[in-house]
């Protein structure tokens, strides 16, 4: 047995001295100024033109998708939507720094990461219309995406539950000897859940190759971050758990990319967790069920609109001579049409046949579920007009 | 009297309780300035100040642990869990702490002033995590009361009774009815008794029993049955724990038949407990097996929500089968 001394690292003092909050300064990495110009002393990540253009197109794509789907919800075509406007740099920039074999475990505002992985407009629409082509079989509300093929774990609404799961998933990747990490996204509100604390502590103690990526966007529905925590953001907690930590400007896609690339390197090489706190702002409402005018001012939103991550990145690309304006306008128009086309197609596709209701509860349905399905089908046969979505295909 | 929907009735009850007793405090996620995601706590912070109505960090176990301690101190906390689907991080606090506080201390300490409010139930396209009806989990926990109102009048009277009851109460609000259910509500302070069911419609052929949003479902089924010459006695259970076995058995002794309807999955739902107790007391009165019309034994699905729900048509069919047994 190894001799242990848990006081070995503890220094001594001989007068009462309470350690004050805020003694440790955690600065924020920023490469691009809000106008898109590069800080003189900034170290640019090693990133080429095609990757930059893919990042740009994904950010633009997500903004167009969000606009279209918020409108579709207002028109009553889908029941719910949740936009990520203003946070595109955080999710797209981080996903761009990963490898395809890395698992993504997201909260629910990370459609940027999913789109970067290659999730198509058709797949987005099938999910939001809960139709029979949907990968999760239409069982969850709109925006609860999931794709095994793209290593994007299906989203769950309860907050923070994915955090300890990400620790476990990455431990499995490590034990299997894979050259892969797990990235776990969550908001600063979810970081108040007990699962956050459990997840970080376990990852640190068990040396899990996981990147905890906190989108600190200022609000948990209506609750501003100053009513969420009194400490120095989420980054300070990483240090408390012995997790390597970096704070980054979440509206600066190059800074996010650089931080995530470095975090991945550390997680793989040293087999340990890293926490990234991306400072950003939720320009969107929490969801289409929310109305931010009840808790924040238009002025505040306007101030953040000036820090738009998309415009910032475009300005930088332009300064590099990598932005072909005409080509980009064509891309936007083409994307708009493509999204609308897929929306119109997906809303015509029926939901899964009723048999699907008992599948996947277990690996195979036990007797009682089979019996319940038999009764249900008999009932639908008797009242076909009351169950129009399934009665036509019994 | 004033016309109110269920949200307004809940809000009115909270205002009444806060006016009546300055030890009453209301808190939870987004309940402060914003007034809650459903607006059940509108204007409470503006009226009573941040000390008595406030946002909490986003931690359900924290909210209930905090509320339990606050109640033990002698304050009167009303804690909101934003959706009943999200109550499970607080399950440990409720089951192991709140419910056992008095018993484990030999009656020295109590958190009986605590009320937990939470919206529950489906029918709003909420999928797995905005639709569940978890009352049966809590019905298994000695030491708490579980209450479910069916309309604005019941909501105000039962909520005020829950707040003033000297036991921790889980008050489950059927969110499908928040705006849909409108009725006359006294503006005065009043309480309705906990632990009592209410016979809504007298009948002779079969007893229909439900709670919360499902009461209107069995009422609808009763109308269909009436057209077929079947007379239904409709009962709202209101209190899940403790439940009014006497009113239910009195009715079953008269009708000889019982149908129980709940949204939660069939297996080990609260209907199972009712059926077991009723057959013990009414075995010789029963003319047919006690029948359950419940949610399927699957997670609550989105696309197949209509198929999943124990609706009035399924209830009507079950009534006919039961009467013709």
Residue ranges of chain A assigned to CATH 3.40.50.970: 28-346
Q: In the annotation, is A171 catalytic? A: no
Q: Is the peptide bond before B242 cis (omega within 30 degrees of 0)?
A: yes
Q: What is the ipTM of this complex?
A: 0.95
To which residue do tokens 């010459």 refer?
B229
Task: Tell whether A357 lies on the interface with B, counting CB pairs under 8 A.
Answer: yes
pLDDT (mean) for B215-230: 98
Q: In the annotation, is A117 catalytic? A: no
Percent of chain A with pLDDT strictly greater than 90: 95
pLDDT (mean) for A95-105: 98
CATH topology of domain B198-323: Rossmann fold (3.40.50)
Kindly report the pTM of this predicted structure. Answer: 0.96
Residue ranges of chain B assigned to CATH 3.40.50.920: 198-323
**Is the pLDDT at A196 greater than 90, yes or no?**
yes
Q: What does the CA dihedral B146, B150, B155, B159 come to, rounded to 10 degrees?
A: -10
Give the pLDDT score at A8.
80
* Cβ–Cβ under 8 Å, residues B259 and B208: yes
Percent of chain A with pLDDT strictly greater than 70: 100
The Cβ-side half-sphere exposure at A358, using a 13 Å CA radius, reads: 18
| pLDDT interval class at A23 (50, 70, 90) | confident
Of the candidates A112, A40, A133, the one whose C-alpha atom is nearest the C-alpha of residue A351 is A133
- Measured in angstroms, the CA of B237 and the nearest CA of chain A are apart by 26
> φ and ψ at B25, to 5 degrees?
-130, 140
Give the pLDDT score at B15.
98
Catalytic residue among A295, A303, A327, A393: A295
Q: Would the CB atoms of A389 and B303 count as touching at under 8 Å?
A: yes
Residues B64-96: tens digit of each pLDDT: 999 999 999 999 999 999 999 999 999 999 999
Q: In the annotation, is A144 catalytic? A: no
**Is the pLDDT at A3 greater than 90, yes or no?**
no
Select the residue of B58, B89, B306 nearest A228 (Cβ to Cβ): B58
Give the pLDDT score at A7.
83
Residues B296-310: tens digit of each pLDDT: 999 999 999 999 999
pLDDT (mean) for A148-158: 98
pLDDT (mean) for B224-242: 98
Give the pLDDT score at A22.
75
**Is the pLDDT at A275 greater than 90, yes or no?**
yes
**Is the pLDDT at B97 greater than 80, yes or no?**
yes
Give the pLDDT score at A20.
84
Residues B150-207: tens digit of each pLDDT: 999 999 999 999 999 999 999 999 999 999 999 999 999 999 999 999 999 999 999 9
Q: Which of A79, A221, A365, A392 to mutate to test the interface with B (most CBs of B within 10 A)?
A: A221
Domain B2-185 CATH class label: alpha beta
Q: Which of B88, B300, B302 to mutate to test the interface with A (most CBs of A within 10 A)?
A: B302
Name residues 68-97 of chain B within 8 A of A (Cβ): 85-86, 88-89
Q: Would the CB atoms of B304 and A159 count as touching at under 8 Å?
A: no
| pLDDT interval class at A303 (50, 70, 90) | very high
Nearest CA in chain B to A379: B314
**Is the pLDDT at A6 greater than 90, yes or no?**
no
| A135 alpha-carbon distance from chain centroid | 18
Q: How many CB pairs under 8 A join A and B?
A: 135
The percent of chain B in helix, strand and coil, each rounded to the nearest 5, is 40, 20, 40
**CA-CA distance, B230 to B218, in Å (whole number)?**
13
Instruction: Tell which CATH classification among 3.40.1190.20, 3.40.50.970, 3.10.180.10, 1.10.1040.10 matches the domain A28-346.
Output: 3.40.50.970
CB < 8 Å to A387, chain B: 306-307
| pLDDT interval class at A4 (50, 70, 90) | confident
Token representation of residue A43? 């170290």
Token representation of residue B170? 């889980």
Q: Would the CB atoms of B304 and A221 count as touching at under 8 Å?
A: no
Residues of B labelled catalytic: 60, 130
Residues A42-77: tens digit of each pLDDT: 999 999 999 999 999 999 999 999 999 999 999 999
Q: Would the CB atoms of A159 and B55 count as touching at under 8 Å?
A: no
CB < 8 Å to A138, chain B: 301-304
Select the residue of B59, B296, B313 nearest A357 (Cβ to Cβ): B296
Q: Would the CB atoms of B58 and A382 count as touching at under 8 Å?
A: no
Alpha-carbon separation of residue B117 from B9, B19, B299 (angstroms): 13, 19, 23
**Is the pLDDT at A1 greater than 80, yes or no?**
no
Q: Would the CB atoms of A294 and B130 count as touching at under 8 Å?
A: no
């Amino acid at each position: 047995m190894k001799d242990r001394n848990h006081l070995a690292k503890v220094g001594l003092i001989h007068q009462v001295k309470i350690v004050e909050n805020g003694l440790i300064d955690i600065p924020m990495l920023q490469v691009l100024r809000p106008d898109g110009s590069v800080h003189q002393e900034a170290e640019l990540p090693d990133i080429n033109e095609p990757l930059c253009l893919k990042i740009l197109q994904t950010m633009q794509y997500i903004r167009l998708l969000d606009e279209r789907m918020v409108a579709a919800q207002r028109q009553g075509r889908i029941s719910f939507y949740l936009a990520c406007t203003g946070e595109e740099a955080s999710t797209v920039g981080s996903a761009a720094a990963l490898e395809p074999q890395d698992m993504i475990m997201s909260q629910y505002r990370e459609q940027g990461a999913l789109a970067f992985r290659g999730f198509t407009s058709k797949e987005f629409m099938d999910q939001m219309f809960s139709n029979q082509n949907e990968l999760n079989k239409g069982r969850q509300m709109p925006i609860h995406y999931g794709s095994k093929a793209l290593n994007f774990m299906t989203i769950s609404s309860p907050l923070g539950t994915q955090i300890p799961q990400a620790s476990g998933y990455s431990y499995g990747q490590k034990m299997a000897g894979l050259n892969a990490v797990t990235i776990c996204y969550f908001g600063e509100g979810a970081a108040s859940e007990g699962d956050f604390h459990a997840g970080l502590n376990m990852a640190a103690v068990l040396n899990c190759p996981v990147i905890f990526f906190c989108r600190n966007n200022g609000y948990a529905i209506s609750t501003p971050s100053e009513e969420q925590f009194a400490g120095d953001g989420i980054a300070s907690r990483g240090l408390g758990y012995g997790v390597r930590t970096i704070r980054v400007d979440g509206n600066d896609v190059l800074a996010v990319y650089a931080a995530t690339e470095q975090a991945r390197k550390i997680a793989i090489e040293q087999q340990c967790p890293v926490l990234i706190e991306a400072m950003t702002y939720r320009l969107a409402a929490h969801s289409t069920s929310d109305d931010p005018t009840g808790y924040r001012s238009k002025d505040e939103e306007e101030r953040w609109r000036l820090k738009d991550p998309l415009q910032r990145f475009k300005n930088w690309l332009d300064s590099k001579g990598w932005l072909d304006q005409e080509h980009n306008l064509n891309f936007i128009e083409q994307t708009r049409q493509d999204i609308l086309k897929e929306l119109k197609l997906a809303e015509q596709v029926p939901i899964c046949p009723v048999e699907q209701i008992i599948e996947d509860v277990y690996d195979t349905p036990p007797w009682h579920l089979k019996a319940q399905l038999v009764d249900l089908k008999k009932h639908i046969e008797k009242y076909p007009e009351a169950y129009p979505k399934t009665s036509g295909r019994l | 009297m004033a016309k109110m929907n269920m949200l307004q009735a809940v809000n009115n009850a909270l205002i009444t309780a806060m006016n009546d007793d300055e030890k009453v405090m209301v808190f939870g996620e987004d309940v402060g300035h914003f007034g809650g995601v459903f607006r059940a706590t509108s204007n409470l912070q503006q009226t009573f100040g941040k000390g008595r109505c406030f946002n909490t960090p986003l931690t359900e176990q924290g909210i209930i642990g905090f509320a339990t301690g606050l109640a033990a101190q002698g304050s009167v906390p009303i804690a909101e869990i934003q959706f009943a689907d999200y109550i499970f991080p607080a399950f440990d606090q409720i089951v192991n702490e709140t419910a056992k506080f008095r018993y484990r201390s030999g009656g020295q300490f109590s958190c009986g002033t605590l009320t937990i409010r939470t919206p529950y139930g489906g029918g709003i396209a909420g999928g797995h995590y905005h639709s569940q009806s978890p009352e049966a989990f809590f019905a298994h926990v000695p030491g708490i009361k579980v209450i479910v109102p069916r309309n604005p009048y019941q909501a105000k009277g039962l909520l005020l009774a829950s707040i003033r009851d000297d036991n921790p109460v889980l008050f489950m609000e059927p969110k499908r009815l928040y705006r849909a259910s409108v009725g006359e509500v006294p503006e005065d302070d009043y309480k309705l008794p906990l632990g009592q069911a209410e016979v809504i419609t007298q009948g002779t052929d079969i007893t229909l029993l439900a709670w919360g949003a499902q009461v209107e479902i069995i009422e609808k089924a009763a109308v269909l049955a009436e057209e077929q010459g079947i007379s239904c006695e409709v009962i709202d259970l209101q209190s899940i724990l403790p439940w009014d076995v006497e009113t239910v058995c009195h009715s079953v002794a008269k009708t000889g038949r019982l149908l129980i309807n709940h949204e939660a999955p069939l297996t080990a739902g609260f209907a199972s407990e009712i059926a077991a107790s009723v057959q013990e007391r009414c075995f010789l009165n029963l003319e047919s097996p006690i029948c359950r019309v419940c949610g399927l034994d699957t997670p609550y699905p989105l696309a197949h929500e209509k198929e999943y729900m124990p609706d009035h048509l399924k209830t009507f069919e079950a009534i006919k089968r039961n009467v013709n047994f």
